[in-house]
Structure 1
Amino acid sequence: MKVVVAHNQYSSAAPSGENVIVDAEIAQLRAAGVEVVPFLRSSDEIGSLPLAQKALLPVAPIWAPAAQRALAELIRAERPDLLHLHNPYPLISPWIVRTAHAHGLPVLQTVHNYRQVCAPGLYFRDGHICHDCRGRAFALPAIQHSCYRGSKAQSAIMATSLAVHRRTWRSVDHYLALTGGIAEHLRDYGIPDDRITIKPNAIADPGPVAPIGSGLLFASRLSAEKGLALLLDAWSRHPVGSLGVLRVASDGPLRPVVEAAAAARSDVVYLGPQDQAGVRAAMRESAVVVAASTWDDVLPTVIIEALANGRPVLGTKLGGIPYLIGDAGWTVAPTVDELAAALPVAVAGAAGLTNAARARYEANFTPDVLVKRLLDVYSNLVNRGHREGDQSVNGYRSGPWATPQP
């Protein structure tokens, strides 16, 4: 089977777990014998684009003509079986779905966020969960609040793209929802159940579980929605050293906040930004991993990494966090009082949940389990395409999904 995997990589200035997950999934598919043809663009390319393409950047989320031409050429050259889309913004555009369909290719999308409805994709603004654009034909609140990159102009472009591509998204042949929460988001958007499969991300097995460490680890991006301030407030309710050490291994706009906390308390240690090996080392030194998100966090990869390393997780009851933790940790409301009360419980109970954490990883989040699920979806899509595609467009099968190009 030959699959085009399309993804607009996020800027390296704002490291994204989604980039890592897509790269890992490509490697996992190749190891399973799938011929993967990457169709990748990076937001880092924007500064070096030719002037003609830069002039079209404002409309790129809507159409991105250069990407459509490149994809059409790739399809003609490679003759793939299907297109698997991840993030299309800003250099690929959702129009890639229409381009693939015009060439008779079924399209599968992995949904990593809420971008079909919400301009920034988070359902979060000004420090709180926000659903103001849900159910609207046009996301006017996104413009009013400058939700996309803090710009009314860019928010207007994204709101226009969401309106233009409502029909595009509803034409996608099948969706992969990372959790039940994303599946519900898609159903609310009008996607029927029979076009949704729940498939979380897989991470490679890190090897034998190390003996339990001590203290806690926070290894999420240092941004408001990830709950750093909530965690530090809860931590401050306890005497210095009473819970061991709180390690923070990441980077982001709230870095000065954690640096100040580390300067004020000897039991807060800021490790700075870490690569995968660094995070894993910090995790093995710790007893509990904390996921304190204050938004409907879709699928924090750090939780899966914690489970794989036999570390239970203390998380908030938002988004996909309860689904990921299962019986391998604790979930609380995203309040200072509840999190503060749970911290000593987690420290005391960590050793008793290491086996449960590892077992949950092995049953649900290994590449063997999840790549098989993905291959089943691929096969069903391709086989359905062969059954339904009794005509051709430029030599490719076409079925009810085929739509004309502009």
Structure 2
Amino acid sequence: MKILQVNKFHYLRGGAEKYFLDISEALRQLGHEVAVFSMNHPKNLPSPWSKYFVSRISFNESKWRDKLLAPGRIIYSLEAKRKFKKLVDDFRPDIIHIHNIYHQLSPSILAVARKYRIPVVMHLHDYKLVCPNYQLFVDNQICYRCRKQRYCQAIKHRCFQGSWLKSALVALEMFWHHRVWKIYEKTVSLYLAPSAFMKETVVSFGIPEAKVEVLYNFIDQAKLEKKEVKMEDYLLYYGRLSFEKGINILLEALRLVPNTPRLKIVGVGPEEDQLKDSVKSLGLEGLVEFLGAKYGSELEEIILSAKAIIIPSVWAENMPFVLLESLALGKAVIASRTGGLPELITSGETGFLFENGNSADLAEKIMALNDYNLAQIGSAAQATVVDLTLEKHYNRLLEIYQRFIKKV
């Protein structure tokens, strides 16, 4: 089968890129022809398809060229459409699997797929299909204001980086793509949701239920192998250091726990300095350790040695790899009751859930850890993800591909 995988970044940046790169390589290893389409970037992994990649544009830098090009590039990229057409002409894919294409690529590429009548499957790694700011999160709370395509709400609440201008641009983008052009509605054969919560959410925004299927991400089976590592007496947060991840809730909870446990924080992000200030103001110096970014075996050892993993997110998490990886490694997880997180955790049996944003409830769950056999909780947690194998994921994905190829 000839499969064209599409994502705006071709380097390990987040969960979407991890999945995009992993599934592309897995499909190659299993004998399929796989091409990729992306954006040029200094961090990109090598690719024989890079000659087709679009030029780099950054929306976070202050180059005047990028500022002038941004509106057109976001709404309809002629360059992406032209280069994508060239790739499709040369590769002739049987199916196109798109991931995150917003802004850097734009859905102009879908016009090519539609013209050539190539089936398109879209993976929903975030909420951008229905939410202008990707996160369903604004004014420090989960937000559903843009239901029924009321994108003017994005401007009213300055939901994109607190800017009226940027919010107006993404509102215009959503209005054009979904209410005028309707390119996703016309082109995408099936949406793949990594959690039942994601499916329920996009359906509640008007995506036909018949066009959305749940497909959990797969885990690295090597992580299921029993590893003898001595559990130490510290809690662990690992992931991006940003507001929606709720790390401040975790710090506030620690302050409420007698004999405050140690906390290790792994990761980098825009809130790092603010979090370090919070540690000082809350009197947690000496108890909280910032380790920076960690990867591979070094990160795995830190996870395995932890007493428990904390996922205190205040936004509606989809199905983060942090959760899947922690469960696969047999660790007890304390997570907020939000988004897709409760789908794999039964509180008190395979982990623990606390009320979203409630530091006192989180503190209670941390204090209750001593009342449980954490090794037993970890074994039960691991059992919940043991069937999320690459083989089963691949077989299901292939069945989906073949189903829509036959319809052409």
Q: Is the 8 A contact 1:258 1:270 kept in 2?
A: no
In the alignment, structure 1 residue 5 sits paired with structure 2 residue 5: yes
Which runs of structure 1 show a deviation greater than 3 angstroms over 4 or more consecutive aligned residues?
Answer: 50-56, 260-265
Aligned-pair distance for 1:226? 0.6
User: How far off is 1:212 after superposition?
Assistant: 5.5
| Aligned residue number for residue 249 of structure 1 | 266
Partner of 2:215: 199
Distance in 1, matches of 2:245 and 2:342, equals 15
SS in 1 for 2:7: strand
Match of 1:68 in 2: 81
Structure 1 distance, partners of 2:73, 2:41, is 12
- Displacement of 1:259 in angstroms is 2.8
Segment drifting more, 83-92 vs 28-37: 28-37
Please state how far the C-alpha of 1:267 moved relative to its aligned partner: 2.7
The one of 314, 330, 355 aligned to 2:379: 355
More deviation, 221-230/368-377? 368-377
Q: Output the CA distance in 1 between the equivalents of 2:192 and 2:329.
A: 26
Contact 1:120/1:147 (8 A) holds in 2: yes
Task: Give 1:6-405 correspondences, 5 Å limit.
Answer: 6-9=6-9, 15-41=13-39, 45-46=56-57, 55-137=68-150, 139-166=151-178, 167-171=182-186, 172-207=188-223, 208-210=225-227, 211=229, 213-214=231-232, 215-241=234-260, 243=261, 245-260=262-277, 264-326=284-346, 327-334=349-356, 335-349=358-372, 350-363=374-387, 365-385=388-408
C-alpha distance 82-336 of structure 1, shift in aligned 2 (>3 A): same
Provide the rounded CA distance (Å) in 2 between the counterparts of 1:25 and 1:11: 13
1:118 and 1:319 map into 2 onto residues whose CA distance is 15
Any conservation in 1 of the 2:80–2:108 contact (CA below 8 Å)?
no
What is the deviation of 1:333? 0.8
Q: Identity over aligned residues, as a percent? A: 28
Aligned amino acid, residue 368 of structure 2: V
Cα distance between partner residues in 2 of 1:277 and 1:141? 45
Assess, with a 3 A threshold, how the Cα gap between structure 1 residues 229 and 11 changes in structure 2: closer, same or farther.
Answer: farther
CA contact (8 A) 1:303 1:325 kept: no
**Displacement of 1:51:** 9.3
Q: Is the 8 A contact 1:316 1:331 kept in 2?
A: yes
CA contact (8 A) 1:322 1:331 kept: yes
How big is the shift at 1:256?
2.0
Closer/same/farther in 2, CA of residues 287 and 77 from structure 1, 3 Å limit? same
1:109 is paired with a residue whose SS is strand
Aligned counterpart, 1:403: none
Where 1:173 maps in the other structure, the secondary structure is strand
Deviations 1:35-93 (A, max 9, x none): 21101125772269x99887433121211110001111111111100111111121211
3-state SS in 2 of match to 1:236 = helix
Number of aligned residues: 378
Q: In the alignment, residue 30 of structure 1 is paired with which amino acid?
A: R
Which amino acid in the other structure matches residue 77 of structure 1?
Answer: D
Q: State the Cα distance separating 1:142 from its structure 2 match.
A: 1.4
- Distance in 2, Cα, partners of 1:136 & 1:299: 25
Aligned-residue offset at 1:321: 0.5
Contact 2:8 2:38 in 1 (8 A): yes
* Equivalent AA in structure 2 for residue 305 of structure 1: E
SS in structure 2 of the partner of residue 165 of structure 1: helix
Q: Is the 8 A contact 2:4 2:95 kept in 1?
A: yes
State the distance in 1 between where 2:88 and 2:21 align: 21
SS at match of 1:46: coil
**CA distance in structure 2 between the aligned counterparts of 1:18 and 1:57, rounded to whole angstroms:** 22
Q: Tell me the distance in 2 between the aligned counterparts of 1:347 and 1:373.
A: 40
Report deviation, 1:249.
Answer: 0.5
Distance 1:91 1:43 in 2: 11
Check 1:153–1:277 CA distance in 2 against 1; reply closer, same or farther (3 A cut).
farther
In structure 1, how many angstroms separate the alpha carbons of the residues matched to 2:190 and 2:119?
A: 8
Residue 173 of structure 1 deviates from its aligned partner by: 0.7
8 Å contact kept, 1:56–1:64: no
Does the CA contact (< 8 Å) of 2:8 and 2:101 recur in 1?
A: yes
Helix, strand or coil: the match of 1:148?
A: coil
CA distance in 2, matches of 1:283, 1:134: 39
How far apart in 2 are the matches of 1:266 and 1:84? 47
* SS of the residue 2:161 aligns to: coil
Contact 2:238 2:265 in 1 (8 A): yes
SS at match of 1:142: helix
RMSD: 2.4
Gaps of 5+ in 1: 386-406
Assess if the C-alpha contact under 8 Å between 1:24 and 1:203 holds in 2.
no
When normalised by structure 1's length, the TM-score is: 0.86
CA-to-partner distance for each residue in 1:312-346, whole Å, 9 max, x for gaps? 21101100101133452111212112111111223
**SS of alignment partner, residue 148 of structure 2:** coil
Between 1:253-262 and 1:75-84, the stretch displaced more is 253-262
